Structure 1
């Protein structure tokens, strides 16, 4: 069984609001051909936010869906420069009405939520307010309608540690204990704190067998490390990418609504090779490659690993020209509250565990496949791109760079 957990929190503090100049968000990929679908727009945002984070040398795994849904919820409450900066960064077409954007998120969220044998996806949103803060009724109603936001009051001013503990306890419950302490501190100046959680747990359609997992070498580009390497012979979607000097594989989950993809470059084992591969991609290119994948029987080798990533995305969003959101003077939340507020922090935490497990019936099928010989293989033993995609909408639930896996032991 594989589990993925992401939590994102936006912390708003006291400030003042005045209009300011608007700068368009720069385009970070030379070929931007995203179609009108929300899934494509979220994918392009994922590539943009990853592009401006290239200075990070290690693993980086985000939930583009989590980030964009929470920012879109904030869009409901902003005006002026703050509103236009958010819309520009989120890549929403100028011709798209706000109501269409929010309705699309409502529909996408409902399509992602799953509670079936072998597949569990839960999404929760909550807005914590300082006791007595005046939040406009229209904002509360729309946030509940489109994003399922539940609102709770906490006394940040007089009991910030108690507020922190209450939020951490809720996050821990929603993530099944995977993220027990999202917040280390909460400022007494906090007026509102918005949290989005995504919990994903899926069984492979064709699981790996624990008896075939063995220690193997993973080349990070700077050193060789030993990881437990899962292995199995299976029929999986595969595509050679000669233009990118890479190859791609998909590992579907039960039901084939979701799949995990790995894109492994063939060039020198360096971070630059991985970044060049990512720069090569856009939503249209990725869609085309995925549609061209064909089932191939091969030996598949994937590390049994855990990937943990936590960051304050404030500086990252500023590099996407979302600046007034964090400015005590220029931030405009006049459609959310009559109080003067600004965003203080954008905390994002992702935990991904990859193991062999699947259902008992699927395991029997995998045992049979292991008896068939083939010389073809796909091995994740070097830095690679990895993502989990909802296959009907193309929405990336998770997107990231795998540079150094953390061995996940029994």
Structure 2
């Protein structure tokens, strides 16, 4: 009896599945495990991005001065490209699902796609470069910028823990480019491991790595691996921080939050009085709530009464720079919901709309820089999962380094009141680099 040939059909196309998964959380206790489907295609290269954010832990004790010196080594173009890409993707997600919560990490998405970019070639590489803002850049600039960003963010100082971990898992018996693997080792500190994907313990091995790197918050990212899977790439980001000035639970009261359409729901509204970076102009109020020693913060932008989050979005899409500058410090009261957000969605259409469609096309995608094992690969799926929890113990930090004066802002000795009781925008920022690590549009607090 003749055995069927094990040689693959040269016309067969192989899929490259990209998972972007993120959990963002502003407190340690009570975070549910996040699980992503791991369904694979006929032959699969999988890139998984795991993102966690939380509040409460202490990070490496680096001084603000030393961190500022390290930040000077980061090419500003890297931050500018990352922020611009993040806002483009955020805008696309908002347009696809009107009046639905959005929360994503530009850092996580761009860093994982950068690892994937190292295996691309030709039109696919050009499309990825245009979409991610790297057009005209050499790979060394892309990779070097991400390495500096990773090293800097992991030195976040007291009150903040931010860990970024990358890994590349290759199918046993296949040959991949040593240059590709070494680049991801050198620039992304990636853990590279060959696995027998046909074994039952292959997926659990990957999941154990993810569980360890996310402090147990995401125990499963890959449900299973098919015999055709070629490679799994994972980016895991774990963030946890405490407010520089915590909210007192005794001041948290039930208040109404106005939903799109005019209906209201009751939410636990936290309250605190103090001095904050604050900006008020026609159509919005904005405040920075610091984490740790002020090296990171949560920027909250609230549309004015009579305006809308959609109108605010249009200002952001047009020019976000006014909100990326330092505001004047004012004293007042901030009332902010205790809330959580979740996002679990496929990004194929979003990235295609932003110009990356060729990477998803089995007839045109080029990932030949991955080596011999890359023939026929294309991206089958990009999935992003995030979870954010904000409570009395945590949100981000701001440090005053310069002042932007706004003529319509209230005088410094006139206390402000900012009640976040309607849809709003937020960004978690690194103050010394200007990077927006996470961005969100909150229409429905507590919505799953």
TM-score, normalised to structure 2's length?
A: 0.75
Q: 1: distance between equivalents of 2:213 and 2:419?
A: 34
Q: 1: distance between equivalents of 2:173 and 2:27?
A: 38
2:84 aligned counterpart, secondary structure: helix
* Aligned residue in 1 for 2:311: 276
* Aligned residue in 2 for 1:261: 299
* Aligned residue in 1 for 2:115: 73
Q: 2: distance between equivalents of 1:71 and 1:11?
A: 20
Provide, for residues 257-303 of structure 1, a one-character-per-residue CA deviation record: whole Å limited to 9, x for no partner.
1110111112547xxx32332222259x4333342511111111111
Could you tell me whether the CA contact under 8 Å between 1:304 and 1:407 is conserved in 2? no
Matching residue within 386, 397, 408 for 2:437: 397
Q: 2: distance between equivalents of 1:381 and 1:89?
A: 35
Matching residue within 145, 154, 158 for 2:186: 145
Could you tell me whether the CA contact under 8 Å between 1:131 and 1:153 is conserved in 2? yes
TM-score, normalised to structure 1's length?
A: 0.82
Task: Give how far 1:381 is off.
Answer: 1.4
* Aligned residue in 1 for 2:402: none
Could you tell me whether the CA contact under 8 Å between 1:129 and 1:193 is conserved in 2? yes
Q: 1: distance between equivalents of 2:301 and 2:36?
A: 26
Provide, for residues 218-272 of structure 1, a one-character-per-residue CA deviation record: whole Å limited to 9, x for no partner.
1121331111111110111011132xx1111100111211110111112547xxx
* Aligned residue in 1 for 2:4: none
Provide, for residues 124-174 of structure 1, a one-character-per-residue CA deviation record: whole Å limited to 9, x for no partner.
111122222211001111111111111123333x24x64333333322222
Q: 2: distance between equivalents of 1:72 and 1:11?
A: 23
Structure 1 7/279 Cα, relative in aligned 2: closer, same or farther at 3 Å? farther
How do 1:97-246 residues align onto structure 2 when only pairs under 5 Å count?
A: 97-114=138-155, 116-156=157-197, 158-159=198-199, 162-222=201-261, 223-242=263-282, 245-246=283-284
* Aligned residue in 2 for 1:345: 381
2:380 aligned counterpart, secondary structure: strand
Provide, for residues 346-402 of structure 1, a one-character-per-residue CA deviation record: whole Å limited to 9, x for no partner.
2222111111126xxxxxxxxxxxxxx985211221111111011111111101111
* Aligned residue in 1 for 2:345: 311
> Please, which moves more after superposition, 45-54 or 165-174?
165-174
Q: 2: distance between equivalents of 1:154 and 1:347?
A: 23
Structure 2 unaligned spans of 5+: 1-24, 45-74, 395-412
Q: 2: distance between equivalents of 1:10 and 1:79?
A: 26
Q: 2: distance between equivalents of 1:248 and 1:282?
A: 16
* Aligned residue in 2 for 1:250: 288
Structure 1 8/138 Cα, relative in aligned 2: closer, same or farther at 3 Å? farther
* Aligned residue in 2 for 1:357: 393
What's the RMSD between the two structures over aligned residues?
3.0
Q: 2: distance between equivalents of 1:258 and 1:288?
A: 18
Q: What count of residue pairs does the alignment treat as equivalent?
A: 368
